[in-house]
A and B are shown apart, each in its own frame.
Chain A
């Protein structure tokens, strides 16, 4: 009986978190008048809402923009972050501790403080309405650098010494020996960075006005807030569904990695 209750609660919990997504998907596939109500099924299956969204929004372009920006930033964060991590954990040079403490200190600066000055900088650089504003300011991350530093400390020193004896440069050691050993750290940084950039709306909203350069979440946000959706619920939800699908798809495949990465980033330092 107690077991039954336990499973009952857990299942109700799962429904609470999953059913709204099912409802959303179902709502996009039926006529506007049938959206209210529990029954996800409708007698009139229709793709009209998606047709409307695709006609109003260059959503594929938005998807491409999001992909471009997220991949560019993630690659950069991994490459440059691992360089800093390697230098801080494996090399000896004057000022090393200074760089380390600087990286720690930068993480304490709240983004609210630098948001507007950074925006005015984009205006002065002439980067508003360009990919540069979406990519360049986030190309490096102190958090990634520190995470790589911590992870690289566990790489056996003997391995690095051996490579050095063979005449390997530190660049080659980092990218051909340390990198393959550091998959968990790379996956964690990649997932956190990619999702952070992919889902962000505030910064793209500030620096992009041209629809052709908008990221997907920005496009969908403005579709909902602006009048383009013509108050059609089904169409709004269809746009939201298109935005959610790639993430949910990735989640189904990478679920374990995703949960672990996001959770460890909260636990470890």
Chain B
């Protein structure tokens, strides 16, 4: 159980789960048969007991309670009030929920292709006999380990309209500066670029592992057939890396749906709600307006959206395992 959803490492496990555990895993829980095991190790119960108690209290109960909250209005301090489908009706007609969803999809539309191209490109370059590979790999990985708050505060300065390093750089080469965080057209792309910078090192390493797993024989056979470098890349490298690409997609998607600290620190969701994210909206509903029922409903909707997007990605991108 990990409430710190906003952060990448806790989401890794979830992504692995979504990727590899077919849905019938849930069904199996319900009809588990292991009467065949002998019963000699009663100490096993003691060893799993703390864990079972813990997930019952801190995961099972909140999960069940979520489905109570969805149908109630509640500010924690006064009694709950039953509202039936009120929260869900409100959600479906709440323009800000849809705004947050569109913002998130916009983020993913920029973030995912950028991430894939940069990560795969750098991994390809590193997957050769070169000196200092460990150094390059470690430098690309550096932002991955640094706290998102630091990265956000740093990029806030880099993006500053007048004094920011990026606009200074643009003006040096004769381009006009951009109001990265003040123009509603650029604010979300700015966050997407920053998120790519922060995470891409992880994907470079993942792709590198994937590339090293591809047999040399395949390329040698292709060479005999006179394949070009581009054909090699498209017909061997990309299909062989499909599981890694899928993983990158899922992790980036979960990351996109978990955006919180970036808009919270950089823009507060603005300008004109152009960087409002689902978690930021949920947070505001719960902590500015004390609407626990509605915030839970938003969280439920958000969780459903993650499943939908990931399932669509699996449907269209995942090929049979090689």
Residues of A within 8 A of B (CB): 6-7, 9-10, 13-14, 16-18, 20-21, 23-24, 27, 35-38, 80-81, 83-84, 86-88, 91-99, 101-102, 104-121, 123, 136-143, 145, 169-171, 192, 195-203, 205-206, 217, 220-221, 224-225, 233, 236-237, 239-241, 243-244, 247-248, 250-251, 255-256, 258-259, 262-263, 265-269
Contact = CB atoms under 8 A, between A and B. Distances in A.
B201 A116 contact: no
Given A35-B157, A142-B1, A99 B136 contact: no
Interface in B1-48: 1-7, 9-10, 12-21, 25-26, 28-29, 32-35, 37-45, 47-48
A111 B2 contact: yes
Given A6-B130, A13-B136, A112-B299, A27 B157 contact: yes
Contacts, number: 350
Contact of A112 (B38, B51, B155, B302): B302
19 contacts: A6-B130, A13-B136, A16-B197, A20-B158, A38-B168, A102-B55, A107-B13, A110-B302, A110-B306, A117-B62, A137-B1, A138-B2, A142-B13, A171-B43, A196-B9, A202-B4, A203-B4, A224-B149, A243-B149
Nearest to B40: A92
A146 B37 CA distance: 20
Nearest to A21: B142
A81 B153 CA distance: 35
Interface in B243-290: 247, 251, 257-258, 260-261, 264-265, 268, 278-279, 282-283, 286-287
Given A10-B125, A137-B58, A195-B145, A111 B44 contact: no
Return the 10 tightest CB-CB contacts between A and B, nearest first: A36-B163, A200-B4, A143-B13, A111-B5, A91-B41, A117-B62, A107-B17, A91-B44, A110-B303, A93-B44
B287 to A, nearest CB: 7
Nearest to A256: B134
Q: Output the residue of A112, A205, A225 with the most chain B CB within 10 A.
A: A112
Contacts of A145: 51
Interface of B: 1-7, 9-10, 12-21, 25-26, 28-29, 32-35, 37-45, 47-48, 50-52, 54-55, 58-59, 61-63, 65-66, 69, 74, 76, 122, 125-126, 128, 130, 134-150, 153-158, 160, 162-165, 168, 197, 201-202, 205-206, 209, 247, 251, 257-258, 260-261, 264-265, 268, 278-279, 282-283, 286-287, 292, 295-296, 299-300, 302-303, 306-307
A83 B43 CA distance: 10
B15 to A, nearest CB: 7
Nearest to B248: A266
Contacts of B9: 192, 195-196, 262, 265
A265 to B, nearest CB: 5
A111 B10 contact: yes
A117 B63 contact: yes
Contacts of A14: 135-136, 139-140
Contact of A237 (B153, B163, B268): B153
A262 B158 CA distance: 27
Contacts of A248: 142, 145-146
Contacts of A170: 41, 43, 47
Contacts of A21: 142, 146, 154
A95 B34 contact: yes
A111 to B, nearest CB: 4
Nearest to A98: B32
B157 A237 contact: yes
Nearest to A216: B147
Contact of A113 (B32, B205, B303): B303
Contacts of A217: 147, 149
Contact of A141 (B1, B163, B202, B300): B1
A224 B163 CA distance: 18
Given A108-B14, A117-B296, 4 more contacts: A170-B41, A196-B7, A200-B6, A201-B6
Contact of B154 (A24, A99, A117): A24
Contacts of A266: 12, 15-16, 202, 206, 247, 251
B3 A83 contact: no
A222 to B, nearest CB: 10
Contacts of A115: 3, 5, 282, 299
